[in-house]
Amino acid sequence: MNAPSESLRNRMRSMPSIAVFRSPKALSVEVLAGVITTLALIPEVISFSVIAGVKPEVSLIASVILAITMSFLGGRPAMVTAAAGSVALVVAPLVKSHGVEYLLPAVILAGLVQIVFGVSGLARLMQFIPRSVMIGFVNALAILIFMAQIQHLVGVPWLVYPLFVLTILIVVVLPRLTRAVPAALVAIVVVTAIVIVTGMSVPSVGDDGSMSGVLPGLTPFLAPINLETLQIVWPTAVCIAFVGLLESLLTAKVVDDLTGTGSSKSRESWALGVANLFAGFFGGIAGCAMIGQTIVNVKIGRARTRISTLVAGATLLLLVTTLSGVMARIPMVALAAVMMIVAITTMNWGSVNPMLLKRMPLSETIVMVVTVAVVVATGNLAVGVAAGVVLALALFARRVAHHLRVDRALDAAGSSVRYNVHGPLFFGSSNTLIDRFAFAQDPKSVVIDMTHAQIWDASTVWVLDAIELKYRAQGAAIVLEGLDERSHTFRSRISGHL
């Protein structure tokens, strides 16, 4: 069977989930993408459960709940949400120092914070994250995914390496022959079958954690309900909320770019809060979007609708409860090889192209490199993005501040002076504005023309007030003219009160 036509891919890009059921071909793409995404989820969720200090089956069931809930409520179709590593890193210190019983109240509080964040519309703040930070986020993620797989290729039986090569060959070569079935899914099934039939002894999914196949019940609320508990859990809860939101909203933006479609960031935010509330009561672990698995779903599986993530959640539930024995036999090397391919395709190679780097502003490149470096050094995507945003803002303010220009012109008689101010005025530029005026040499008539300038903050108003006061102290008459309506209104409201 040939690859899906361009027209089919275009229809799928904008096709609602219900409409997919009318196209068997599109439906099969969504279902198969969900299955391969499930297989990519399992090893990471199990590994993250160890970091968080909870049982593997608890994280797996929480991931089922998160995936299914977000399939119905989420604002970004085809984005995979599960028990993620970034959240595991946040909750681990709480579990270690106070016990797993404090995890549930922390997750509940985090879910409520996320709901408030989404309902209040604060998700719109995502538009202020620069593209250089976004590229750094994606590149850092690719590096982390790749590095996380290396452990499965070091200190292992030699039989692992032929299986690794076979997996890579299938994933790379099969799409050139057919795209009817995801190559990654074929590779995992083939390699797993070889291991089971031949009885090879290689590391498997089951080695990373027990697979009991028993569903956990509702999590009992064991922590005391008092102010002390709130004092213990609120710092962790706030971190869970904002790390989860940041990773989910950034992932949604990446998927928007990959699919050429939009998403509701506010809906995604409050839906994540609701999903975490549900997941919290089945083990207490929270989650957020998992960009690596989302890339598997969207890029490798070519999914575009909520059906893929619903299938992923349902398949994971089936594997955990009924097919836990089969799931435990999947070789880790097959999953590692697939995730390495994902990492390579996730990397924005154009951003490190020497020809492009020569054209890009140096500040943009510095922001991208710092974002990547901080993420890789800390293993925390949220910390790296925060560092990148702060640096980008600082460099932007510095660059804009240098666009301030003040021209001084005396009239023919030398009895009046006019200053023409050009550029945006804010704390970064206005702090040096006062140094542009020759107070001692100027005559008694001063005009400051602001036609080509704009006032953006209180710092500028304070500086302009200081300039006026200084001239008047010398007995000069000063006129400030040319302000646009917004700047004039802003200055009038606070001038003289600073």
Q: Which of 199-213, 218-232, 363-377 has the lowest mean pLDDT?
A: 199-213
User: pLDDT digits over 451-486, tens only?
Assistant: 999 999 999 999 999 999 999 999 999 999 999 999
Q: How far apart are CA 389 and CA 392, in angstroms?
A: 5
Backbone torsions φ then ψ of 421, nearest 5 degrees: -100, 130
- State whether the Cα torsion 77-81-85-90 is positive or negative: positive
Please report which helix (H) or strand (E) contains residue 390, including its range. Answer: helix 381-401
Percent pLDDT > 90 in the chain is 46
* Separation in Å, CA 12 to CA 71, 81, 92, 298, 310: 17, 21, 40, 11, 17
Q: Which of 286, 222, 251, 337 is nearest to 65 (CA)?
A: 286
Predicted TM-score of the model (pTM): 0.72
CA-based radius of gyration for the chain:
29
On whether the CB atoms of residues 139 and 347 are closer than 8 A, the answer is yes
Query: Hey, what are 321's tokens?
Result: 């409860």
Reported as a single tens digit per residue, the pLDDT across 255-278 is 998 888 989 999 999 999 999 999
Q: Please return the burial class of 126, using the count of CB atoms within 10 Å of its CB with bins 0-12, 13-18 and 19+.
A: middle
Identify whether the C-beta of residue 388 lies closer than 8 Å to the C-beta of residue 138.
no
Distance separating alpha carbons of residues 179 and 216, to the nearest angstrom: 38
- The tens digit of pLDDT for each residue in 418-463 reads 999 999 999 888 888 999 999 989 999 999 999 999 999 999 999 9
The type of residue at 450 is M
Rounded Cα distance between 466 and 468, Å, is 5
Angstrom distance (rounded) from CA 369 to CA 136: 7
Count of residues for the chain?
498
